[in-house]
């Protein structure tokens, strides 16, 4: 049950690049420039160290609530502070990193992560280095993953390689990969080569190696394309696409002909990342899929490498669909292709 709860926490965090994440990334890409500007502005707000101190807030309603003897009230007050997105509460929340109640402590750790308080990072790292509680470890790792930079990555690396709980190791590996920290490249490769490693740990290892652009792993990714576990195959296909390993285009073309949607779509998507439209004809069928994730990923691929034929197919779908949201997505993709084709 404990591992189940921890697993759910990691799943909700989601630092893995799944089909659903691809769907979100596709839609976010529509306004990359404006959103990047928003992120820059957001970072400026969140990363500056607050000058307020606890005494300045002695009469603040939320600070008073957080002083309650009731842990439920303390936790609720911390959550309310986070919801304000006001960094003046950082110093207050830090007090509860050592709260005697575990739930309050977890809330404080997670709150500082949500607020992206880099000034609190060392305190969270210290807790991570000392705790034996898996829930607290995972909360610390997730909180640190939200920071603009990772303090003392050696501690995270040690957990990624040596922790007894695979779920904790996966969380740590994902975080190191997200920051592009290559301290454990060789050790992670050994995890992939070890037959005793769990499949979920191997998937995290592949994602890590892809994130750090591991040249040493290229041949290993190719070998894993034939693995019996589909999650490992999908992760390897994605890694090849993300790293633009054009030497393996032939292998990806073969995989794009498979009948397993996850394999076919991932292979076609990786090919599209490299500007190859070989799988295009096999992707049109997903426009009629009852699975919205398959449908949107298929449409994304078509938008990336579609041609004149794609435009005609999209126009037909636009004329028939009654789903206004999907229709706008179809129209956007059609115009995207028109713009690209017209430039040739």
Say how far apart CA 96 and CA 102 lie, in whole Å. Answer: 10
What is the structure's pLDDT at 7?
Answer: 52
Residue 24 scores a pLDDT above 70? no
What is the structure's pLDDT at 292?
Answer: 94
Split at pLDDT 50, 70, 90, the class of 233 is very high
Provide the percentage of residues in the chain whose pLDDT is more than 90.
81
* Contacting residues for 6 by C-beta, under 8 A, at least 6 apart: 134, 135, 138, 165, 167, 168
Give the predicted TM-score (pTM) of the model: 0.80
What is the structure's pLDDT at 300?
Answer: 97
Split at pLDDT 50, 70, 90, the class of 3 is low
Residue 32 scores a pLDDT above 70? no
Residue 31 scores a pLDDT above 80? no
Mean pLDDT of the chain: 87
The mean per-residue pLDDT over the stretch 201-219 comes to 97
Query: What's the pLDDT tens digit per position in 273-288?
Result: 999 999 999 999 999 9
Burial class (CB in 10 A: 0-12, 13-18, 19+), 117: buried
**Phi and psi at residue 129, in whole multiples of 5°?**
-70, -20
Say how far apart CA 164 and CA 264 lie, in whole Å. Answer: 35
Query: What's the pLDDT tens digit per position in 65-87?
Result: 999 999 999 999 999 999 999 99
The listed CATH number (1.25.10.10, 2.20.28.120, 1.10.260.40, 2.60.120.10) that belongs to domain 1-10+39-151:
1.25.10.10
The mean per-residue pLDDT over the stretch 290-311 comes to 96
The mean per-residue pLDDT over the stretch 14-21 comes to 40
Say how far apart CA 179 and CA 141 lie, in whole Å. Answer: 12
DSSP code, position 291:
-
Residue 58 scores a pLDDT above 70? no
The mean per-residue pLDDT over the stretch 230-256 comes to 98
Between 76 and 49, whose confidence is greater?
Answer: 76
């Amino acid at each position: 049950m404990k591992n189940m709860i921890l697993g759910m926490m990691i799943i909700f965090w989601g630092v893995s690049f799944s089909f659903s994440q691809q769907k979100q990334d596709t839609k976010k890409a529509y306004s990359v420039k404006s959103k990047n500007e928003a992120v820059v502005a957001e970072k400026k707000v969140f990363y500056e160290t607050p000058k307020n101190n606890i005494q300045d807030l002695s009469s603040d309603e939320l600070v008073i609530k957080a002083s309650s003897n009731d842990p439920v009230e303390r936790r609720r007050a911390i959550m309310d502070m986070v919801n304000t997105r006001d960094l003046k509460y950082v110093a207050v929340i830090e007090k509860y990193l050592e709260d005697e109640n575990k739930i309050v402590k977890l809330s404080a750790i997670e709150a500082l992560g949500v607020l992206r308080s880099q000034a609190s990072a060392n305190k969270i790292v210290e807790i991570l280095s000392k705790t034996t509680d898996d829930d607290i470890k995972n909360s610390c790792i997730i909180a640190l993953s939200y920071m603009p930079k990772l303090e003392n990555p050696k501690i995270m690396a040690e957990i990624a390689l040596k922790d007894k709980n695979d779920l904790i190791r996966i969380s740590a590996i994902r975080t190191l990969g997200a920051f592009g920290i290559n301290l454990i490249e060789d050790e992670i490769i050994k995890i992939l080569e070890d037959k005793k490693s769990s499949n979920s740990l191997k998937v995290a290892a592949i994602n890590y190696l892809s994130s750090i652009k591991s040249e040493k792993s290229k041949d290993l990714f190719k070998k894993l394309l034939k693995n019996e576990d589909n999650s490992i195959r999908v992760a390897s296909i994605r890694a090849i696409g993300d790293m633009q390993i054009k030497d393996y285009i032939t292998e990806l073309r073969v995989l794009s002909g498979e009948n397993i949607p996850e394999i076919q779509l991932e292979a076609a998507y990786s090919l599209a990342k490299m500007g190859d439209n070989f799988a295009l004809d096999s992707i049109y069928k997903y426009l009629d899929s009852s699975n919205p994730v398959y449908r949107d990923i298929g449409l994304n691929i078509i938008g990336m490498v579609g041609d004149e034929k794609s435009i005609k197919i999209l126009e037909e779908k636009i004329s028939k669909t009654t789903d206004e949201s999907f229709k706008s997505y179809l129209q956007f993709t059609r115009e995207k292709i028109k713009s690209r084709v017209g430039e040739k």
